[in-house]
A and B are shown apart, each in its own frame.
Chain A
Amino acid sequence: MTTPDENSSPGYATARAFCITSACWMVIGAFVGLLGATELIAPDIAKNIGWLVFGRIRPIHINVVLFGFVTPGLLAAAFYYFPRLLRCELFSEKLGVFTVWVWNLTLVAAVISLAGGHTQGREYAELIWPIDVMVVAAFGLVFFNMVMTVRRRTEPLLYVSIWYGLAATILTAAVYALGNVIWRPDSGALAGMADAVILWFYGHSIFNLLLTPLAAGIAYYVIPRVVLSPLYSHRLAMLGFWSLMLVAPQIGTSHLLQVPLPTWLKVIAIADSIAMAIPVMAFLINIWYTAKGRLGEIHADIGAKFVFTGTIMYFFASLQGAVMALPQVQRVTHFNNWVVGHAHIGVLGFAGMIALGGMYYILPRITGKQLYSRLLADFQYWMVLIGVVGFTVVLTIAGMTQGNAWLNGHAVYRVLPMVHVYYIVRAALGLMLFTSAIVGLYNILRTLLSNPGGTP
């Protein structure tokens, strides 16, 4: 548990605000996902309500879960570990809280504009230009706060988590502007195949240069502290960091293996998808060896439990990703629910789990009190775990059914009844996830706002 010195904590207003942001948007995001899933079973359930039509719900879902739930959750922990690791106060909590307001305003604007059909129609880059600018500004503000904190540090050595935090925010600001073709406000797009290339370069960079480094930063922070043991290897951490920076931005074209693009570009994407084994395994071996033989401690801390589970999910998401990037496999997996399964194991199972873990780890430490309820947090853990594993199983089966049926010459319409039952199970699991998000919100709000609990 925490040392006395850690209890005399400053306010951590930014971290608190990001926690609340994340927990609220998780409820909204999961609800919207559930609504979308329901519409795929009962398509007339919101009949003729324009802003609830599946084609608008779906981008709201991904934008809210990515930029509302997962990213703020990960940033909450970053705003906690930056001052601690650098042994100084955050450059400006005021600026931090302001950033959170900008962030939430951006999200509200995103939801309203998407619901109204104002979209640039590019997956993960739907937001219209003014909101794009707000997103870049928000990342810029976060980066500025981080860098300025680094400058006033009293600790000369930069720990791994700091590298990841800095790189994630600055690279995302750059990649976001690039991927959204921000210099063309009206369309936000290039013409022709070049548009697809830049879009998916950006798309997978959101997962690999934003979510992955932020989540890795948290794992590198939380796991050694909870198991009370130094990091297994700093050299390996360095290898993991630099290889991620190099390999990750190159795999975007693996989304485009089946469309007319130059072969060399596809070869790069495939080769680098396999080369992702280097950063992934460097990170995982480092974390797992640090925790080796001390799983009891991890089990005892709910935050660490989430984080550690997230690292396991990362293993599976990456394994799956590398396999999906093989052209022979992609013939079956492309265009169907297999990919949706991969998306949930990656974004929810890995990044989302670690975001929740980061929040549950820092909450007692920034409030100086125990979590409002460990039981509810455990409940959420199991619901999310069952939910995401269930999603993966069900969606993988559905995806293989679709993919193989198509390869066999069946028309899409004929295959709809074959996947209907999996859609139902997916929605049921989504209901669990939605419930767990409400429980999590309640727990986090009680912990922060009206916590009767004793000191930890």
Chain B
Amino acid sequence: MKMTPRAVVIGSLLILAAVVFVVIYIPYVTRTQTASAIFRRRTPTEAAGRKLYIANGCVYCHSQSVRSIDWGLGAERIAQAGDYVGDQPILLGSQRTGPDLSQEGGAHPNDWHRAHFVNPRTTRPNSIMPAFEFIGPENIKHLTAYVQSLGMKNAGRRMQRQKHWKAKAVEAYEAGPDANAHWLAENIPFGWRKIANPYPSTVAGLARGHKIYQDFCLGCHGPVGDGMGPGQPDLYPPPLNFTILKNRGISGGILYYQIMNGITGTAMPYFKRELESEKIWDVSNYVAVYFINQSDANHAPRGIDTAYEP
């Protein structure tokens, strides 16, 4: 074959055209255009938030597609082609420097997002996400609206739950410490409330609790547990001041249950995916010993027998 300029240029263009026909055009004309069951259109505010999401490069750190092998946030809902029919451009992302966001909507209430966008280190002490305070409060609202819409109809259901419980949490908080402590406890299944922390209070256990507290809780509940962490100004109801729990019927089981599941309607997140069982017992005992000053660790009735004791 003789490599004339014509052969090179026309030949390579023809090959490209053929390849484009097969790998671009055919998939395009046969693409899924039916929306999936959870699909819904975005409101104007959410669309404005999406523009901010694009302009500020959230896509470089956050994916929006849950894979069948994922365990993280939203793993209950594996991505379907029909989820994306309204996305132009599509924002699948190529890096997970931060967690997947495709089912983020309703995982937290709005005030959590506000605090997190102003500075992620407040709600998440080890975060490496940039602070977005510079986009201004109005834009933070739009961005939050967009993030809360991710997951579409599923997110809508979660948001309704957040709204429902937010009203109750605010009401309880405003009714004073007694009422608040009572409200917090009354939503916990009875059995849990009676369980004491099964592990003994040890120096090592408290040191572990301290480390976990610093990595996960400090930004809200504050270094001394009074609820005055740097996230406090943006959160309502504000992070719990642990000292109010003293002599108000607190138990290891209550602390464990709350840390594991979070408190829907408040900024208090769930930690069931991030902290294994012993870590939750350790941090709750740390809170009990240092901040509430009242620990039931290793007292009767012990809910669980522990195989290893020092």
A282 interfacial by beta-carbon distance below 8 Å: no
A191 interfacial by beta-carbon distance below 8 Å: yes
B300 interfacial by beta-carbon distance below 8 Å: no
Q: Bound state CA distance, A287 and B53, in angstroms?
A: 46
Q: Mark B59-81, 1 if CB is under 8 A from A, else 0.
A: 11101010111111100000111
What's the minimum C-beta distance from A34 to chain B, rounded to whole angstroms?
16
Q: Mark B19-41, 1 if CB is under 8 A from A, else 0.
A: 11011100110111100000000
Q: Bound state CA distance, A242 and B18, in angstroms?
A: 14
A265 interfacial by beta-carbon distance below 8 Å: yes
- The one of A245, A262, A411 in contact with B27, judged by C-beta atoms closer than 8 angstroms, is A262
- Are B27 and A194 in contact, CB atoms less than 8 angstroms apart? yes
- Are B127 and A413 in contact, CB atoms less than 8 angstroms apart? yes
- Are A192 and B85 in contact, CB atoms less than 8 angstroms apart? yes
- Are A59 and B60 in contact, CB atoms less than 8 angstroms apart? yes
- Are A119 and B57 in contact, CB atoms less than 8 angstroms apart? yes
A43 interfacial by beta-carbon distance below 8 Å: yes
> In residues 172-202 of chain A, which contact B (Cβ within 8 Å)?
174-175, 178, 187-199, 201
Q: Bound state CA distance, A40 and B126, in angstroms?
A: 11
Q: Bound state CA distance, A417 and B212, in angstroms?
A: 13
Q: Bound state CA distance, A25 and B98, in angstroms?
A: 29
Asked, given contacts A170-B12, A192-B87, whether A58 binds B55 with beta carbons under 8 Å apart, the answer is: no
- The one of A117, A242, A245 in contact with B55, judged by C-beta atoms closer than 8 angstroms, is A117
- Are A187 and B129 in contact, CB atoms less than 8 angstroms apart? no
- Are B57 and A258 in contact, CB atoms less than 8 angstroms apart? no
A260 interfacial by beta-carbon distance below 8 Å: yes
B113 interfacial by beta-carbon distance below 8 Å: no
Complex contacts, A294 vs chain B, CB 8 Å: none
- Are B30 and A175 in contact, CB atoms less than 8 angstroms apart? no
A300 interfacial by beta-carbon distance below 8 Å: no
Asked, given contacts A245-B12, A246-B15, whether A43 binds B27 with beta carbons under 8 Å apart, the answer is: no
Asked, given contacts A245-B16, A416-B127, whether A166 binds B8 with beta carbons under 8 Å apart, the answer is: yes
Q: Bound state CA distance, A117 and B88, in angstroms?
A: 17
- Are A170 and B90 in contact, CB atoms less than 8 angstroms apart? no
- Are B56 and A413 in contact, CB atoms less than 8 angstroms apart? no
A118 interfacial by beta-carbon distance below 8 Å: yes
Complex contacts, B202 vs chain A, CB 8 Å: none
Asked, given contacts A56-B56, A245-B15, A406-B72, whether A413 binds B87 with beta carbons under 8 Å apart, the answer is: no
Q: What residue of chain A has the Cβ atom nearest to residue B54's Cβ?
A: A121
A400 interfacial by beta-carbon distance below 8 Å: no
Q: What residue of chain B has the Cβ atom nearest to residue A416's Cβ?
A: B126
A6 interfacial by beta-carbon distance below 8 Å: no
In the complex, identify which listed stretch (B131-139, B185-193, B233-241, B244-252) lies at the interface while the others stay far away: B131-139
Size of interface on B: residues with Cβ below 8 Å to A: 76
B301 interfacial by beta-carbon distance below 8 Å: no
Size of interface on A: residues with Cβ below 8 Å to B: 84
Complex contacts, B61 vs chain A, CB 8 Å: 54-55
Q: What residue of chain B has the Cβ atom nearest to residue A41's Cβ?
A: B128
- Are B99 and A412 in contact, CB atoms less than 8 angstroms apart? yes
> In residues 105-142 of chain B, which contact A (Cβ within 8 Å)?
119-121, 124, 126-135
Asked, given contacts A55-B61, A252-B23, A413-B126, whether A147 binds B9 with beta carbons under 8 Å apart, the answer is: yes
Q: Bound state CA distance, A416 and B96, in angstroms?
A: 11
Q: Bound state CA distance, A329 and B232, in angstroms?
A: 44
What's the minimum C-beta distance from A173 to chain B, rounded to whole angstroms?
10
Q: Bound state CA distance, A407 and B90, in angstroms?
A: 25
Q: Bound state CA distance, A117 and B143, in angstroms?
A: 15
Complex contacts, B274 vs chain A, CB 8 Å: 411, 413-414
Q: Bound state CA distance, A336 and B32, in angstroms?
A: 28
- Are A54 and B57 in contact, CB atoms less than 8 angstroms apart? yes
- The one of A43, A162, A245 in contact with B121, judged by C-beta atoms closer than 8 angstroms, is A43
- Are B96 and A412 in contact, CB atoms less than 8 angstroms apart? yes
Q: What residue of chain B has the Cβ atom nearest to residue A167's Cβ?
A: B12
- Are B131 and A43 in contact, CB atoms less than 8 angstroms apart? yes
Complex contacts, A193 vs chain B, CB 8 Å: 31-32, 81, 84, 90
A302 interfacial by beta-carbon distance below 8 Å: no
- The one of A58, A259, A409 in contact with B60, judged by C-beta atoms closer than 8 angstroms, is A58
Complex contacts, B127 vs chain A, CB 8 Å: 43, 413, 416
Asked, given contacts A163-B8, A171-B13, whether A260 binds B81 with beta carbons under 8 Å apart, the answer is: yes
Complex contacts, A246 vs chain B, CB 8 Å: 15, 19
Q: What residue of chain B has the Cβ atom nearest to residue A244's Cβ?
A: B12
Complex contacts, A417 vs chain B, CB 8 Å: 126, 215
- Are B89 and A197 in contact, CB atoms less than 8 angstroms apart? no
Q: Bound state CA distance, A188 and B15, in angstroms?
A: 25
Complex contacts, A41 vs chain B, CB 8 Å: 128
Nearest 7 A-B pairs (CB), nearest first?
A55-B57, A189-B89, A121-B54, A117-B55, A409-B71, A335-B96, A191-B88
A and B contact pairs by CB, cutoff 8 A, 14 listed: A41-B128, A43-B129, A123-B60, A171-B16, A178-B24, A190-B88, A191-B86, A194-B28, A197-B27, A201-B20, A245-B15, A265-B27, A331-B69, A406-B70
List 20 other contacts, CB 8 Å, given A43-B131, A59-B57, A198-B28.
A43-B121, A43-B127, A43-B130, A48-B133, A54-B57, A54-B60, A55-B59, A117-B56, A121-B57, A121-B89, A190-B28, A192-B87, A201-B20, A249-B23, A252-B23, A259-B65, A260-B32, A411-B99, A412-B99, A413-B127
